[in-house]
Chain A
Amino acid sequence: MINPDNFKIKLTKEEKDILQGSQGETMQKILETVVCYGEALGAEKLVAINGYGHFVITYAIPGIAPSMEMLANLAASGLKAKYPFTLDPKPPLDFENWFLTAEQVKTLEQMYEDQERYDEIMLELGLRDTDACTCTPYLPEVGNIPKREDILAWSESACAIFANSVLGARTNRTGAIMDLLTNIVGKTPLSGLLTDDGRRAAWLIKVETEQLPLPQLLGAAIGKKVLADVPFIAGLDTFLGPGLNENTRDYLHEMGAACATAGAVGLYHVQNITPEAVDYGTNLLVPNHKTYIIEDRELDELLSSYPIPWPKEDALPEKCFIGCPHLSLQQLHWWTEKITGALQKENRDQLPVKTTICAAPQVLRAFQADGGTYELLKRTGAKFSVGCPMQIFDNDLSSGEAIVTNSNKLRAYTTARFFPDEELVDIITSGKIKEEH
């Protein structure tokens, strides 16, 4: 029997009762897990979650998902998240969009043999709808957009950092499984990024580049430097202008994804742009904060430090994955313009590199409804998917393939080679990588 008085965290009468079994054995175990998590974080108490969730646990494959036994047990107990939730992108089971061999398809089918049952359980546990799967839930077409100061327990590092930084909601970087458990309890420990103190910046990052830096490189440089601290970024408004607009939102969602991958950053402030930075300015910096200046040279060095992860370094690129994190509607238009323009210069109709472009189901539908632009991009041979390219690399599925990407997150976890957007356009339309690489 759990003795609630053994915990340092302050518990309400109801929480103590649950820990002693008032709402059944499963709920008791879930709350025990959340309370022990709170103890580890040094939280004073648990606080109520008051917004929709977003969780990373989309896949049925063991290793990155809760065990089926655990999920089945939760669903069988009649439990579900207090609020509906969205999930990360679906597994890449739309095989026709990924240029796969028969052997790769067979392996994926085996890896995801439980996916159908998994999806059913997720709906039982509170998944908003079957299409609510993307790493950009906060785009207007998808509509899981937290409000400022909402208390959340989000996972998916790219989403948690966006919710905190750009929307001003409050979430810690919740891990897979703990995301679901906290949202079933409807409470999360009051600690870290949920507190005013935890949201103050320990680093002043001065961006002193000649032009707007590539977001996925800038994010990686910042994450690597500050690790888990909160950075206050100055100088970006010179290029992006003040306040938030669609361009800035897209820039920040790419920068944040790279920042969270390279470090453990869950929140950044951008001077004159993000809501708390607009309201409080440099008062967000703690006394004796550290300063880090980022110039072009530093970002060039970071880019050239990435090893070539292909077995044959001078291989011609075979495949390209764009959209990790998922693209916005505006970004889909940008890629269409760039790709079709470059193909025209190359005197080609079709992309010589097999290219898959990923976006949320709702965003892709809006793009398709747009008609002309979608048809233009489709005619180049590019495929569209609502899935996640990361899982194409699980189980050594793509080992030996020369895959290129514009995603620094994908680069960090897989054998895909990273290139800046404009260079990637040249590569996939010419079929070649320029010699300086």
Chain B
Amino acid sequence: MKKSFKGRPILAGNIEGEALVTKNGFNTYASFFTSIHLPSDKAICADSSNRELYGKNLAAKIICLPNTTGSTSGGAVWQRLVRMGNAPKAMLFSQKIDSLGAGGLVVADIWAGKRIYAVDQLGDDFLETVKEGDRLVIKEDGTVIIRD
């Protein structure tokens, strides 16, 4: 059965993709520490503190997370990933987006010219329900559908 959640579109659009999930904070700088320096079409998560994502390829995936954490250098990481072509497809926040995530994603959108779609305030229930590998449909009004 399809499950649907309604959030607030931050960087809106209609897309589909595959979910990766972390229930802990997503440390942007630590996660992409290796992939921002070594050109690749992959973005292997380098944050050894994040047991759910460590070693997984984040490129072109939809990352489901509570919020971003860690160093403010993380703000610049998004535009670099977009320019390199190994950015995640979308970021789905269960909480209200944090200042670091918001700033970085907006800068990448306006200055690097390619959107990483973002929806926030999807709620704890969304993060409890969505599983790694789920096919997700994101609508421009902030609706997120977990497909069968």
Contact = CB atoms under 8 A, between A and B. Distances in A.
Interface of A: 29, 32-33, 36-37, 40-42, 56-57, 61-67, 70, 155-157, 160, 172-179, 181, 191-192, 227-228, 260-264, 266, 307, 309, 394-396, 409, 412-413
Q: For chain A, what secondary structure do more than half of its interface residues adopt (helix, strand, loop), or is it mixed?
A: loop
A19 to B, nearest CB: 13
A396 B109 CA distance: 29
A266 B72 CA distance: 11
Contacts of A70: 111
30 contacts: A29-B111, A40-B102, A40-B105, A41-B97, A41-B102, A56-B72, A56-B75, A62-B36, A63-B37, A66-B76, A155-B75, A156-B72, A160-B72, A172-B99, A173-B100, A175-B103, A176-B72, A177-B103, A177-B104, A177-B107, A178-B107, A260-B71, A264-B68, A307-B48, A309-B48, A396-B34, A409-B71, A412-B49, A413-B29, A413-B30
A37 B106 contact: yes
Contacts, number: 143
A63 B80 contact: yes
A155 B72 contact: yes
A157 B30 CA distance: 14
B51 to A, nearest CB: 11
B96 interface: yes
B66 A227 contact: yes
A40 B10 contact: yes
Contacts of B67: 227-228, 264
Q: Which of B10, B70, B74, B76 has the most CB of A within 10 A?
A: B76
Interface in B1-51: 10, 25, 27, 29-30, 32-34, 36-38, 48-49
A156 B49 CA distance: 21
B83 interface: yes
A114 B96 CA distance: 37
Interface in B43-79: 48-49, 66-77, 79
Interface range on chain B: under 10, 10 to 19, 20 to 34, or 35 or more?
A: 35 or more
Nearest to B96: A42
B75 A174 contact: yes
A266 B106 CA distance: 20
A264 B100 contact: yes
Given A36-B110, A228-B98, A264-B67, A395 B38 contact: yes
Contact of A33 (B49, B69, B95, B107): B107
Given A42-B96, A227-B69, A261-B71, A67 B107 contact: no
A174 B99 contact: yes
Nearest to A182: B103
A173 B97 CA distance: 12
A143 to B, nearest CB: 22
